A = this chain, B = another copy of it.
Amino acid sequence: MTAYTELMAFERKTQALEQVAGRLGWDRETVMPRGAAPQRAEEQGVLAEMLHARRTDPQIGAWLELARDDSDPVRAANLRHIRRSFARTTRIPADLAAEIARVTSLAQGIWAEARAAEDFAGFAPELEKIVALTRLQADALAEPGESRYDALVQEYEPGGSEAFVTGLFDAMRPRLVALREKIAGSGKDPAPLTGQFDEASQHALARELALAFGYDLGHGRIDKAVHPFSSGSGLDVRITMRTDPADPFNCIYSTIHETGHAGYELGIDRSHLLTPLGAGVSLGVHESQSRIYENQIGRSRAFAGHLFGRMTDLFGPLSTADADAFYAAINRARPGFIRTEADEVHYNLHVMLRCDLERALISGDLAVADLPGAWNDRFANDFGMTVDKPSNGVLQDVHWAGGAIGYFPTYTLGNVYAGCLMQALRRDLPDLDSALAAGDTAPATGWLRENLQRHGGLYEPPETISRACRFAPTVGPLLDYLEDKFGALYGL
């Protein structure tokens, strides 16, 4: 007990320091004066060094030896998280960790330049270094019997594995491709929303929607940033948004998405504050919250009716003349080059492509030099489109430049989990649509908070979902939902 208490006191300070590091990142992206960047890099470097020293402090190992697992579920879960984190962090040699940090920090700038110049060859040497370093990292992390990719996936999804991810994808792919082809063959293409939309009114509407989805400004704030994100855990979880005068849906749905991430963090029981249980349990579960807020709830027919009314109030008559046309416009399903702009049908095909290619890079089945060709072939096959330039293809995402290999599958995992949660939510809340039609998301977000969010890291990711759903997660509910929704929209 004493060892546990001391360990948790140490951990609490580490968690507080992590929040500080996160807050500096928020500051950099929202309010920091431009000229402060070099100093900020040093400040963040010092914090990273101190955090690494704390996370690898040998005293943690000594405490873990003494603190036996406990029948108390909270204590047992805390020990499980700390044990896993300590094992993984200490397995990476310090010089490898420093080299990965150095190379990926530089590579992100080089990637941005290469993307702007449409020059994959300019980025290829960096990616080769990153793949080589990531293999070393995976070798250091892998437990006996695990593949390199297993070890990498677990960096983002504790308990995940290559077999788990590919199993999901194999089960989804045929039905997704069939749905995609039916939509393409339907001859239907709903009209998009067109026009110009005052950015201050967009901002006000996005704020109204964040509050409607339960965002608490007593523990958060909304600022402008180049990219929307959610930042922080515990009592201070901030989101950002951006506006585009020609595309209000960008602002609206990215804000609802980030409100989902923030809602998860803010929904965790306050008793877990600054402990390993006080943050979302995995990226996949996190993404399930952002995606169910954004898509299953925010892009539902019922909520679309409410949003159509609010937008008509704010912007006057819309190019989509009624709620049905508006609903079709927010759910246009068309192939496109860019993952982050993809609709619900095509999104997971983007993810699968990246996942297969990064697995091949790590295993050595694919050389970096052959990556653009492999990307473009696969894209032509899956989307029926020819990639016209690297920024529309292999250079579009920053993830690999940042060393985040094994991250992409969590996006699809989030969608699969969101599908399961929505099925359970509709089972438990048969009147959900009448509330959503009135703009009231409280029954839905309240259900998610009560059944999932409040637990934070108490349960492992699949158990977190299965406890909320009261069934084990599978791809079925998501695919059923997509076939129903887009079948109706496209008259399939």
Contacts and interface: CB of A to CB of B under 8 A. Distances in A.
A438 interface: no
Interface string A258-302: 000000000000000110000000000000000000000000000
A16 B43 contact: yes
Contacts of A370: none
Interface stretch (A19-27, A84-92, A120-128): A19-27
Kindly name the residue among A42, A49, A50, A219 whose own CB sees the greatest number of chain B CB atoms within 10 A. A42
B43 A20 contact: yes
A190 interface: no
A41 to B, nearest CB: 10
A34 interface: yes
Given A12-B42, A43-B17, A35 B219 contact: yes
A46 interface: yes
Contact of A31 (B17, B45, B219, B221): B221
A253 B42 CA distance: 34
B20 A24 contact: yes
Given A20-B24, A20-B43, A235 B12 contact: no
A34 B234 CA distance: 13
A200 interface: no
Nearest to A13: B46
Interface in A26-69: 27, 31-40, 42-43, 45-47, 49-50
A294 to B, nearest CB: 23
Nearest to A31: B221
A367 interface: no
A236 B19 contact: no
Interface residues of A, number: 38
Given A13-B46, A17-B46, A274-B42, A236 B36 contact: yes
Given A17-B46, A27-B27, A46-B13, A39 B218 contact: no
A112 to B, nearest CB: 21
Contacts of A234: 39
A371 B40 CA distance: 46
A460 interface: no
B220 A33 contact: yes
Contacts of A12: 42
A30 to B, nearest CB: 9
A54 to B, nearest CB: 10
Interface in A365-394: none
Nearest to A42: B16
Given A13-B46, A46-B13, A39 B273 contact: yes
Contact of A218 (B16, B35, B45, B49): B35
Contacts of A35: 216, 218-219, 235-236
A23 B47 CA distance: 13
A33 B274 contact: no
Contact of A235 (B20, B39, B235, B236): B39
A38 to B, nearest CB: 6
Interface string A138-172: 00000000000000000000000000000000000
Given A36-B236, A218-B33, A219-B36, A43 B27 contact: no
A236 B33 contact: yes
A39 B236 contact: yes
Nearest to A223: B31
Nearest to A34: B218
A40 B236 contact: yes
20 contacts: A13-B49, A16-B42, A16-B46, A17-B47, A17-B50, A20-B47, A23-B24, A31-B221, A33-B217, A33-B219, A33-B221, A33-B236, A35-B216, A35-B236, A36-B235, A36-B236, A38-B235, A39-B274, A40-B236, A50-B50
- Cβ-closest 7 pairs across A and B: A36-B236, A35-B218, A39-B235, A35-B219, A16-B46, A13-B46, A16-B43
Interface of A: 12-13, 16-17, 19-20, 23-24, 27, 31-40, 42-43, 45-47, 49-50, 216-221, 234-236, 238, 273-274
